[in-house]
Structure 1
Amino acid sequence: MSQPPPTSAFAPTPDPLTPDRDITHAHFQPGDTVVVLKGISGGELWGDAMRVVAPSWHTPTDEDGWRLRDSTGGTQSYVTGHPRYLVHLSRRCPDCLIYLRAMEDALLLRYADRNELIDCGWYTITALNQLLHIADIQGSR
């Protein structure tokens, strides 16, 4: 699930699961390695891998979130994300595996004939350096 090179083709695609995912703040701990799924590449899901650093209020959703560190750096090497956006990489927990499988089932067949990186356009970064899902921007939560 490592991130492919940035040769992305933008293809807005509905996210059928993340907006309704029920994962609590306590599901993740400082030191966990997580991924924020962002799309498909070469028949696999891909996203940004990050390390959970510390609790941090997620202002856009007005809920407990996590401060995340992107070890590759960049302009936003630290962001705050809501727990429902995250999937464990550092351990194989049942909740994250079920979510991952459901995302694969929902998306991989749709793009089975395409090999390029497809960014599904689900996330943005706010002015407060907060990772925000498009469903939360639209006020669905």
Structure 2
Amino acid sequence: MSQPPPTSAFAPTPDPLTPDRDITHAHFQAGDTVVVLKGVAGGELWGDAMRVVAPSWHALTDEDGWRLRDATGGAQSYVTAHPRYLVHLSRRCPDCLIYLRAMEDALLARFAGRDELIDCGWYTTTALGQLVHIADIGGGR
């Protein structure tokens, strides 16, 4: 799940798992390293790796979220995200592994044989610095 090159071939595709994922705020802790899966690159899932910093309200879902720090900085070094968007990188927990395998099953075969970066277009960052999944843009679930 290394960071792919900055070029992107946008290919919108449904996300059958993340909107209904049932992960609580307590599943993650400050200091955890996580990834937000965003697509496929070179036959592997890719996403943005970040560190969990502190609890933070996720206004768009009206639920507890986490403030994340992106060590690579860029346009946005800190974002707030809902726990269902996150997958542990710092430890191998069963819940995250099940989700990761299910995402692999859903995406890797669909994009087999394509080496370019495929951004599935699931996330955007709001003016409030909140990472939001397209399923949550309407505000709440």
TM-score under structure 1 length normalisation: 0.98
TM-fit CA distance, 1:2: 1.2
Measured against aligned partners, the alpha-carbon deviations of 1:66-116 in whole angstroms (never above 9, x if no partner) come to 000000001110000000000000000000000000000011000002110
User: Which residue in 2 is equivalent to 1:103?
Assistant: 103
1:36 matched residue in structure 2: 36
Cα distance in structure 1, aligned partners of 2:122 and 2:139: 14
1:121 paired to 2:121:
yes
Q: How does 1:60-139 map to 2 (within 5 A)?
A: 60-138=60-138
Read off the aligned partner of 1:35 and give its amino acid letter: V
Gaps of 5+ in 2: none
Query: What residue identity is the alignment partner of 1:115?
Result: D
Query: Residues 93 and 52 of structure 1: is their aligned pair in 2 closer, same or farther, counting only changes over 3 Å?
Result: same
The one-letter code matched in structure 2 to 1:2 is S
Flag structure 1 segments of 5+ consecutive residues without an equivalent.
none
In 1: Cα distance, 2:140 partner to 2:73 partner: 31
Partner SS state of residue 65, structure 1:
strand
1:11-45 deviation per Cα after TM superposition (whole angstroms, max 9, x unaligned):
00100100000000000000000000000000000
Matched, 1:55 2:89: no
Equivalent-residue separation in structure 1 for 2:59 and 2:70 (angstroms)? 20
Residue aligned with 2:106, SS: helix
User: How far is 1:138 from its partner?
Assistant: 3.9
Task: Let me know the Cα RMSD of the aligned residues.
Answer: 0.9
Moved over 4 A (4+): none
Q: Which whole-Å CA distance do the structure 2 matches of 1:16 and 1:33 have between them? A: 24
What number of residue pairs does the alignment pair up? 141
> Aligned partners of 1:121, 1:39: CA distance in 2, in Å?
8
Partner Cα distance (2:77, 2:86) in 1: 16
Decide whether aligned partners of structure 1 residues 64 and 140 sit closer, same or farther in structure 2, where only a CA change above 3 A counts. Answer: closer
In 1, distance between residues paired with 2:124 and 2:92? 27
